[in-house]
């Protein structure tokens, strides 16, 4: 009897040659590093060097997060990934009424370039690749990073990293949006243009399916809605006058890795194949780098449990293996205690060690694309691709990603799938070890890391001091120049950078843009 995958597709007990009848290996499989990139975006993949090992971290104050980053680098992390608190993500200062109770809780509080300087104190920005999980205010945090690099004497041309900058998925699954979709896309295009000239090695967007998966999306929904968002970003940049091959090589993606290893590997392979075809056939991209779907992966936080948290070590190892077998370019492994609280130093180190064991103690990196030609994986790749393309067509029929978002289509589809998962878990049909089967009568005590609530008051004091020291007239003039740029067609990043250099805060800069563009009000119309 066939089982169903996470996407509701059949998984047969046995696969064989008949499942690949009529299968065109040259068209569907190809060679590693060559179109359609099913087998990976680089010819040698991990046989030359392992993936980038990132650890997503950030909490409390910039000084506390800086100490964690230094520890991670000392333990062997090859790339930093910054988590920002909710006020920063929503464009509010730490002393704003809306920020009360959230400062430093799920990430680091960054209110101005002075916080950014502390965050990267003692970390040479020309020697580390930094990913920043920031969306609506992505331009601000990137410019602050550039300003800190300038203070270090590091030319912008030597900076490498990524800003997530994927606001469309915020409307679909996460909710940390600020502006309506159309001006948000305009801001995204301005970042593309700015970086093409000023920070050419920077990845200007990480188009994210991870957060959709965390909200309940199936693997098929995850890649279908993510690639549909990617198409919308490319269309926006092309409509703004950019040549596709001038910016497409700097696009990157961000996916989840679940414990369902086989479908996850198939998902990654299918996503690469779909994107390569879209970029070549719809947008006429000629540079092979424009056709490559390069992606970061994070293990599935939504699958971690507060019950018997040590079991999460096993889950994370399986999820990480799925990402590596699927050909990820960088990887973050969650800490086993993240379902309870912020990771401790020890649990963060264990998460990193999981990647290091995969890279250095297994034989998985010794060969490119270990699953190539597997009857099961190739058939599952085809099935995932067919289902994802069908869902992408539904988005197109509604007028594209933005039009579908405005009608609430993607959000409604994900919520239906999340409800299905919850029903299966509640009924016991879906086994979650330690939750609905193999439970303990009494959980063992665990001491989580706690954020000091006094952080909010300290951040407010820092802001008061900053406002007292700066030239208020210059800040007002800089914010007025930003509003004027937002009203017209000028690239807003140039006046934005000058406002931040003058010590305007995140809340003030986002407030100036809100004055012109307004704030997004969600729709439940679909």
- List the structure tokens of 174: 């996460």
Q: Render pLDDT for 300-349 as a digit per residue (tens, 0 to 9).
A: 999 999 999 999 999 999 999 999 999 999 999 999 999 998 888 899 99
419 and 464 part of one domain: no
146 and 265 part of one domain: yes
411 and 496 part of one domain: no
Residue at 142 is within a domain: yes
466 and 363 part of one domain: no
489 and 391 part of one domain: no
pLDDT at 524: 59
* Model confidence at 526: pLDDT above 50: no
* Model confidence at 217: pLDDT above 90: yes
Provide Rg for the chain, Cα atoms.
Answer: 23
Last residue of a domain, one of 388, 411, 427: 427
CA 208 to each of CA 106, 253, 264, 269, 471: distance values in angstroms, whole numbers, following the listed order: 19, 6, 15, 16, 39
Number of domains composing the chain: 2
pLDDT at 523: 67
408 and 506 part of one domain: no
75 and 172 part of one domain: yes
The region of weakest confidence among 96-100, 247-251, 441-445 is 441-445
pLDDT at 345: 86
pLDDT cut 90: percent of the chain above it: 88
408 and 486 part of one domain: no
394 and 294 part of one domain: yes
Residue at 23 is within a domain: no
* Model confidence at 482: pLDDT above 70: yes
Residue at 7 is within a domain: no
495 and 346 part of one domain: no
Please give the backbone phi and psi of residue 404, each rounded to the nearest 5 degrees, phi first: -70, -40
Residue at 526 is within a domain: no
464 and 324 part of one domain: no
- List the structure tokens of 364: 């998985």
Last residue of a domain, one of 385, 409, 427: 427
Q: Whose CA is closest to 139, among 524, 526, 486? A: 486
Q: Is the pTM of this model over 0.85?
A: yes
Question: How large is the average pLDDT for residues 5-18?
Answer: 95
Residue at 522 is within a domain: no
502 and 357 part of one domain: no
Residue at 523 is within a domain: no
pLDDT grade for 222, boundaries at 50, 70 and 90:
very high
Phi-psi region of 24 (alpha: psi -120 to 50; beta: other; left: phi over 0): beta
Q: What is the CATH number of the domain that holds 273?
A: 3.20.20.240
Residue 481: domain span = 455-517
């Amino acid at each position: 009897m066939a089982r169903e995958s996470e996407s509701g597709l059949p998984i047969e007990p046995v696969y064989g040659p008949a499942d690949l009848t009529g299968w065109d290996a040259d068209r569907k499989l190809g060679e590693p590093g060559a179109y359609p990139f099913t087998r990976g975006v680089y010819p040698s993949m991990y046989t030359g060097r392992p993936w980038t090992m990132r650890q997503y971290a950030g909490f409390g104050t910039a000084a506390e997060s800086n100490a964690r980053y230094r520890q991670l680098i000392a333990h062997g992390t090859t790339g930093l990934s910054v988590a920002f608190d909710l006020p920063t993500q929503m464009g509010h200062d730490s002393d704003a009424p809306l920020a009360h109770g959230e400062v430093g809780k799920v990430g680091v509080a960054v209110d101005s370039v002075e916080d950014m300087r502390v965050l990267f104190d003692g970390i040479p920005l020309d020697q580390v690749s930094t990913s920043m999980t920031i969306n609506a205010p992505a331009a601000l945090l990137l410019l602050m990073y550039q300003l800190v690099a300038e203070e270090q004497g590091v030319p912008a041309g030597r900076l490498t990293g990524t800003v997530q900058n994927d606001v469309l998925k915020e409307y679909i699954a996460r909710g940390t949006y600020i502006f309506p979709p159309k001006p948000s896309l305009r801001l995204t295009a301005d970042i593309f243009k700015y970086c093409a000239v000023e920070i050419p090695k920077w990845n200007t967007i990480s188009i994210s399916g991870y957060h959709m998966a965390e909200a309940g999306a199936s693997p098929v929904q995850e890649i279908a809605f993510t690639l549909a968002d990617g198409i919308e970003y490319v269309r926006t940049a092309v409509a703004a006058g950019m040549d596709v091959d001038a910016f497409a090589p700097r696009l990157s993606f961000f996916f989840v890795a679940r414990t369902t290893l086989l479908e996850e590997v198939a998902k990654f392979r299918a996503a690469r194949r779909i994107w390569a075809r879209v970029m070549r056939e719809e947008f006429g991209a000629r540079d092979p780098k424009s056709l490559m779907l390069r992606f970061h992966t994070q293990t599935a936080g939504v699958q971690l449990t507060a019950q018997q948290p040590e079991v999460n070590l096993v889950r994370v190892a399986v999820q990480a293996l799925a990402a590596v077998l699927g050909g990820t370019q960088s990887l973050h492994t969650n800490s086993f205690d993240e379902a309870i609280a912020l990771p401790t130093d020890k649990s963060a180190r264990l998460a990193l060690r999981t990647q290091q064991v995969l890279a250095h103690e297994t034989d998985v990196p010794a060969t490119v694309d270990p699953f190539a030609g597997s009857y099961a994986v190739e058939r599952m790749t085809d099935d995932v691709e067919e289902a994802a393309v069908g869902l992408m067509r539904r988005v197109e029929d509604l007028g594209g990603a933005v039009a579908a978002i405005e009608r609430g289509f993607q959000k409604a589809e994900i919520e239906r799938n999340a409800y299905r998962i919850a029903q299966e878990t509640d009924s016991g049909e879906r086994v979650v070890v330690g939750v609905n089967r193999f439970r303990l009568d009494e959980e063992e005590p665990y001491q989580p890391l706690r954020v000091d609530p006094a952080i909010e008051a300290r951040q407010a004091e820092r802001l008061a001091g900053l406002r007292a020291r700066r030239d208020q007239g210059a800040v007002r003039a800089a914010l007025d120049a930003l509003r004027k740029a937002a009203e017209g067609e000028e690239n807003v990043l140039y006046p934005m950078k000058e406002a931040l250099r003058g010590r305007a805060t995140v809340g003030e800069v986002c407030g100036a843009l809100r004055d012109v563009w307004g704030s997004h009000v969600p729709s439940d119309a679909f």
